[in-house]
Amino acid sequence: MKFRDGMWLVAEGKRLEYAEEVYSINEASDGKKVTLLCPTMQIRSRGDTLNRPTLTVELEAVMDDVLSVEVTHWHGAINKGPHFELFPSGKPQVNAGIQKTEGGTTISAGNLSATVSSKPHTFDIRFHSKDGKQKLTSLLSRSVGLAYDPATSSPMQTADMRDIKHYILTQSTLGVGEQVYGLGERFGALNKVGQAISLWNADGGTSSDQAYKNIPFWMSNKGYGVFIDATERVELEVGSERCCRVQTSVQGQRLKWHIIYGPSPKEILDKYTTLTGKPGKVPSWSFGLWLSTSFTTEYDDATVLSFLEGMKSRDIPLEVFHYDCFWLRAFHWCDFVFSPEHFPDPKASIQRLKASGLMKKVCVWINPYLGQASPVFAEAAEKGYLLKRKNGDVFQWDLWQTGMGIVDFTNPEATKWYVGCLNKLFDIGIDSIKTDFGERIPSKDVVWHDSSLDPEKMHNYYAFIYNKVVYEALQARYGKDEAVLFARAATAGTQQFPLQWGGDCESTFEAMAESLRGGLSLGMCGFAFWSVDIGGFEGTPDASIYKRWVQFGLLCSHSRLHGSNSYRVPWLVDNNDESDQGCSAVLRKFTQLKCRLMPYLYSTATESIKHGWPVSVRAMAIEYPEDKTAWLCDQQFMLGPSLLVAPVFDESGEVEFYLPQGKWTSFWDGQIIEGPKWVKETHKFDTLPLYVREGSILVLGKEGEKRTTWDWTKDVEVKTFFPNQGSIFKLVDPENKELATITAMKEGEEWRVKGAEVLA
């Protein structure tokens, strides 16, 4: 939302008042907070203190290297929930201090400081490293303010605020060459500078400025991140109202954000996820290939069996079979009952399929909506389990399902009932849940069971509680570390309930690139696990797009074949081409490659969970923050710290990618390229650029491995790639038991592996 018309004018219809000076500074007795009283004019006489708004700015040391900034106009405004659940694993101690000098007042938290200038009649707050060597950002003149819409001409008008919108805004400075990343799973340009962004969950596909996963966190290439502690709609102008500032605004009387000093991206993510929660652990089987029925396709028991047998006959290892929407009866979504016409005995059918070894686990699609045709709607409505309108009616509309209602998870009894419905699915043999939707949550004319909650704030936050309910139900049934979702909607903190996938993309190379940008962006917000609809969701991919998407999708942390109105089994895409360049051969090769990578993948995942780093589609800058080019790369990614992947986005097989400094070894043929360098290659469908970083130690399964879980001390090989003093690989098993720590040591002129003795 823009509040100005260029630099000189206020936008038509708005009134804007800025903090013009810091009139007084109060220090908290514990040395962790300073409170600034900031009038909206410079106070040069006693009369200037009358009939004038003030803004209060509180700077608080939250944890080491994290300071919060809270701006408030009227303190008497009720601060309704929901609020983000901060420090879910416990709040760490903070090394805080306040120091006064001739130049100003400085509050510090660990290695991060903020200095409030002591210059008279000035509003000037500078954020910097404690040692003063690194300048981060600032709040300067006309950078903290309040706004009215429509514009008021007299303070008397604010006696009735029912038709007046009130906003709080801040504008933090952008330095020369500064870039901004994150803000959720966004499909446009990776660097957000120049974009106007509204953090409001929406079902808009992957080809618009809407997002399923709006995360109020962004990271700068200058060594810091900002977490906006606001569950409501947040509007950002990232260098798009003032080119040298990031403007953040909310409707209300207060705005709070945290500035997080890294200085590296990895350190920023570690501290951010300490604030909002570390990613949850996922079971090793979930890394294998998932096959879906697709969305609106016609399928039944016979169809499922034919797909599974077709995969086995082609030697394509399959871990999970997913039943999408039409496992349910038409108009009955989502009532948790298999369609008896298509699946007369689902429990027996699932038992037979698991016993046959055709697949190991089963997932089903659900959402938090209830169509009124189903008996569960009447039950839920009668018991008060559904969201209501202000007049007491159940909130309903015909968007998606006829007369659908929305489960009100703020009602503990509704949550308990919903978990009971899930348990009936688990009794049948369901192991995982695709938690679709959760974005279309109304914010007008609704009342939640917990009436203390603000409907505007519940819109984005609903994704958190919906996924939390289902994730914890899976944990209760299968164990803490055996739960896994396939979720679409998210907000800050939802990384605790993995995993998320990229939503509805088209079956094109352009959509494949959009999806990658979305995954890179989400990974820079503390989400460790991410997937994508291999082949694209909308439309029917041709064989070229399908095979290139298979390569990309099998090198994501999680991999699922899924579409809308056409199947995604490979033999139906290319008329059963049995050549080594056919869809089946490519899918077989990359599925087996992923199985072979499992010791590396799982150890990478263990480290990623600990720190809040993405496992795959890891932005190049996370590994190479000092490389300016790495920050610009949005068509390639790191798979963990050691593997560089460059998907092919052209039918010709031509691809151009960037190798940072060091020696890079082709995974396929051992070719060595010295970076930094841009490289052009042409690939058939059985390869893509996959390079191993200098200094890497990899533990790999045998060629043609078809398992995701086995004893990773057996049937493996250790490979080194120009090892050095920093080379290390920690091999862990699915129970997080450390199996081996493998390092490199120099003997004479050669480097040798140490610690691999346990591997058979």
Q: Where are the domains of the chain?
A: 4-76+98-261, 284-366+411-611, 634-754
In the block, which residue shows the tokens 């659908």? Answer: 404
> 284-366+411-611, superfamily in CATH?
Glycosidases (3.20.20.80)
Say what the alpha-carbon torsion angle 499, 558, 187, 212 is, to the nearest 10 degrees. -30
Instruction: Note if the bond before 334 is cis, omega within 30 degrees.
Output: yes
Catalytic annotation, pick one of 335, 436, 454, 533:
436
30's tokens? 């514990």
35 φ/ψ angles, rounded to the nearest 5 degrees: -115, 125
pLDDT at 590 over 90: yes
Amino acid making up residue 114: A
Residues 6+ apart with CB under 8 A from 353: 304, 305, 308, 321, 359, 362
For 241-265, the pLDDT digits (tens) are 999 999 999 999 999 999 999 999 9
Q: Are 595 and 288 in contact (CB under 8 A)?
A: yes
Distance CA 19, CA 6 (A): 19
* Whole-number average pLDDT of the chain: 97
Distance CA 556, CA 543 (A): 20
Alpha helices (H) in 214-294, listed in sequence order: 265-276
Name the pLDDT band for 758 (thresholds 50, 70, 90).
Answer: confident
* pLDDT for residue 734: 86
Question: Residue 259's beta-bridge partner residues?
Answer: 67, 226
* pLDDT for residue 51: 93
For 441-463, the pLDDT digits (tens) are 999 999 999 999 999 999 999 99
Amino acid making up residue 757: E
For 544-567, what is the mean pLDDT? Answer: 98
pLDDT at 760 over 80: no
For 400-429, what is the mean pLDDT? Answer: 97
What angle do helix axes 583-596 and 598-611 make, rounded to 10 degrees?
60
For 704-748, the pLDDT digits (tens) are 999 999 999 999 999 999 999 999 999 999 888 899 999 999 888
For 644-665, what is the mean pLDDT? Answer: 98
- The sign one gets for the Cα dihedral 428, 430, 433, 437 is negative
Instruction: Note if the bond before 676 is cis, omega within 30 degrees.
Output: yes
Nearest Cα residue to 27 out of 120, 95, 93, 107: 107
> Measured in whole angstroms, how far is the alpha carbon of residue 597 from the centre of its chain?
24
Distance CA 711, CA 714 (A): 6
Looking at domain 634-754, its CATH class is: mainly beta
Q: Are 106 and 76 in contact (CB under 8 A)?
A: no
Nearest Cα residue to 604 out of 738, 731, 705: 731
443's tokens? 């914010």
* pLDDT for residue 43: 97
Residue 232 falls in the annotated catalytic set: no
In the block, which residue shows the tokens 């909607």? Answer: 489
* pLDDT for residue 750: 87
- The sign one gets for the Cα dihedral 743, 747, 749, 750 is negative
By CB atoms closer than 10 A (0-12, 13-18, 19+), residue 155 is exposed
* pLDDT for residue 748: 84
This prediction's pTM: 0.97
Amino acid making up residue 687: T
* pLDDT for residue 749: 82
Name the pLDDT band for 563 (thresholds 50, 70, 90).
Answer: very high
Distance CA 693, CA 679 (A): 15
pLDDT at 658 over 90: yes
Nearest Cα residue to 286 out of 424, 140, 483: 483
Helix, strand, coil shares of the chain, percent, nearest 5, are 20, 30, 45
Q: In the CATH scheme, what is the code of domain 4-76+98-261?
A: 2.60.40.1760
Residue 436 falls in the annotated catalytic set: yes
Distance CA 719, CA 708 (A): 19
Q: Are 213 and 498 in contact (CB under 8 A)?
A: no
Catalytic annotation, pick one of 64, 270, 439, 538:
439
For 666-718, the pLDDT digits (tens) are 999 999 999 999 999 999 999 999 999 999 999 999 999 999 999 999 999 99
Instruction: Note if the bond before 499 is cis, omega within 30 degrees.
Output: yes
Name the pLDDT band for 521 (thresholds 50, 70, 90).
Answer: very high
Q: What per-residue string of b and e applies to 470-484 under the rule 16 or more CB within 10 Å gives b?
A: bbebbeebeeeebbb
For 368-387, what is the mean pLDDT? Answer: 96
Distance CA 55, CA 145 (A): 7
Distance CA 418, CA 416 (A): 5
338's tokens? 């298999």
Distance CA 297, CA 35 (A): 60
Q: Using a CB cutoff of 8 Å and minimum separation of 24, what contacts does 338-342 make?
A: 338/428, 341/300, 342/299, 342/300, 342/301
* pLDDT for residue 669: 97
Q: What per-residue string of b and e applies to 60-98 under the rule 16 or more CB within 10 Å gives b?
A: bbbbbbbbbbbbbbeeeeeebebebebeeeeeeebebeb
Percent above pLDDT 70 for the chain: 100
DSSP 328: B
363's tokens? 């997932």
Residues 6+ apart with CB under 8 A from 35: 25, 26, 28, 56, 57, 58
Residues 6+ apart with CB under 8 A from 6: none
Nearest Cα residue to 3 out of 222, 241, 338: 241
Intrachain domains 284-366+411-611 and 634-754 with the same fold? no
For 257-283, what is the mean pLDDT? Answer: 98
Distance CA 110, CA 130 (A): 8
Catalytic annotation, pick one of 60, 235, 504, 694:
504
For 472-497, what is the mean pLDDT? Answer: 98
Distance CA 604, CA 557 (A): 10
Distance CA 216, CA 210 (A): 14
Residue 439 falls in the annotated catalytic set: yes
Q: Are 394 and 386 in contact (CB under 8 A)?
A: yes
* pLDDT for residue 19: 98
Residues 6+ apart with CB under 8 A from 467: 435, 438, 485, 487, 489, 490, 494, 497
CA angle, 158 as apex, 154 and 159 as ends, to 5°? 115
